[in-house]
Amino acid sequence: MREPLTSATSLSTDAIGSAVAPRGSRRGSGPVMRWERRYRAAVILSDAIAVIGVAALAGILGLLGTIEGLHPAIAPLIAVLVLIFLPVRRAWQIEMLGDGAEEYRRVLSAMFSAAVVLALLGPWLERLDVRPWMLGVLPTMTFLALLARYLLRQWLHRSRRHGRCMLPVVVAGAADSVRELIERTREHCHVGWRVEAACLVDSDPQAQQDGEIAGVPVIGSLDQLADHVRRGGYRVVAVTPHSHWTPEVLRRLAWNLEGTSAELAVAPVLMEVAGPRVKVSGVLGMPMLRVSQPAFTGGGRLIKEIADRIGAFLALVLTSPVLLAAAIAIKLDDGGPVFYRQLRVKRDGEVFTMWKLRTMHVGADRMRSQLANEADGPLFKIRSDPRVTRVGAVLRRFSIDELPQLFNVLGGSMSLVGPRPPLLEETLSYGPDIRRRLLVKPGMTGLWQVSGRSDLSWEDSVRLDLRYVEDWSLTLDAVILWKTVRAVVSGRGAY
């Protein structure tokens, strides 16, 4: 498996990516590009509309007596509190807008802080009741603010798929790691990195001959890198792993980049971790990248267990008509059993029975040896599997066949979000690194589900599962659940 590239900058680690777009796009003259300022202004405006609009509506309803307990005097107070805490919690920081769960987490943090202050002010507001504002108005503000940011993010990602709103990047490092980063930027367009030039530390005969690497022009030596950045107006200088990058060399490069339009992004290749586990702090006058241990126990995990049970129960209640209709359709199709049971491996390598709606003909397991596997690694996948029934194809298209796994979640063998539950024979080939997938409960959905599902290679599937194990948080779970809805509706990678 290739060593992952891990950025230590404010940009998302896993998301070193954007599609290659036509050259000649307009660049800003300073550290922040023009489209970034406009996007930030749009985010601030959407937050203000959500906060002020909901507060004003609630105040009007309270004034008219439509909803009891909504005293209109609290409306301006709650609006001011939220609009103060949004910048205080850095929810408008331009570097984290448009990608990753951190943006949503900061909005939630700002809303929670406003709720705490409002609760503390409650005893001093005499007979004014703050509970309807905390339990009704603030959650509504939060929902609308997050929804607006999500819609803005979708617009941004769509623009980036067409080559707009991109950050021009120059990458420097070893030829192999430079080529890998370029490939990632072409696979993942949502982050907005567009590599426009490369500077190689070591010599690559083919690159030297062609004057390019992976279709990107190779520019001069490292000593000339800062001059190229000044002339080219690059937004990011990405440094990929190589033994050449000593602390002295990196410090000198950072000094040379001062006053340019670029920020320095360094890939330490420590491990593919990000988010709250990574912190940079000074130790004895030296900057240190500190990585805390992943959280496999504790209060967060307890909340996840409770949320899993409650969420699974509510989902079963809501989807029971769909399950019933699917069961009837399966029975009418060929008269076979409705459910399909399969042994899977859960946390710590224990085996459990996973439930699914049957989507294949009876006896399909015996036909497997007669079919050619189209997937790499230990997975067995066929895009047009002849064993799938007509009803089964529809159920798979919308992931309806996965709904009985909600019973597994209720029973505690699975989680709503987690790594993909592997087959027993699949785990026999696991090495020590891949076995880390078994440190947490498998999930009905996960990063693999919202990133392409069956279209993913084995290597990418493992990388995403390991990233989830290492960087798990309640916020990440919430984002994955939100994205799962879109993945199911689109049907991408479902077969």
The pTM for the full model equals 0.66
At residue 315, the pLDDT reads: 94
115, 130 Cβ separation under 8 angstroms: no
Q: How far apart are CA 54 and CA 138, in angstroms?
A: 9
Q: DSSP H helical segments within 96-215, as ranges?
A: 102-121, 131-132, 138-161, 175-187, 205-210
| Measured distance CA(110)–CA(209) in Å, rounded | 54
Say whether pLDDT at 314 is over 50.
Answer: yes
In the prediction, which pLDDT does 9 show? Answer: 35
What six digits make up the tokens of 62? 């309270």
Residue 413 has pLDDT above 90, yes or no: yes
CA atoms of 446 and 287, how far apart (whole Å): 34
Residue 455 DSSP label: G
Whether residue 416 is predicted with pLDDT greater than 80 in this model: the reply is yes
Q: What is the pLDDT of residues 41-69, one digit of tens each?
A: 999 999 999 999 999 998 888 877 766 66
Q: How many helices (H) and strands (E) does the chain have?
A: 15, 12
SS3 content of the chain, % helix, strand, coil (to 5): 50, 15, 35
Chain centre distance of CA 468 = 10
Summarize the confidence of residues 277-294 as an average pLDDT: 64
- Report the 10 Å Cβ neighbour count for 486: 12
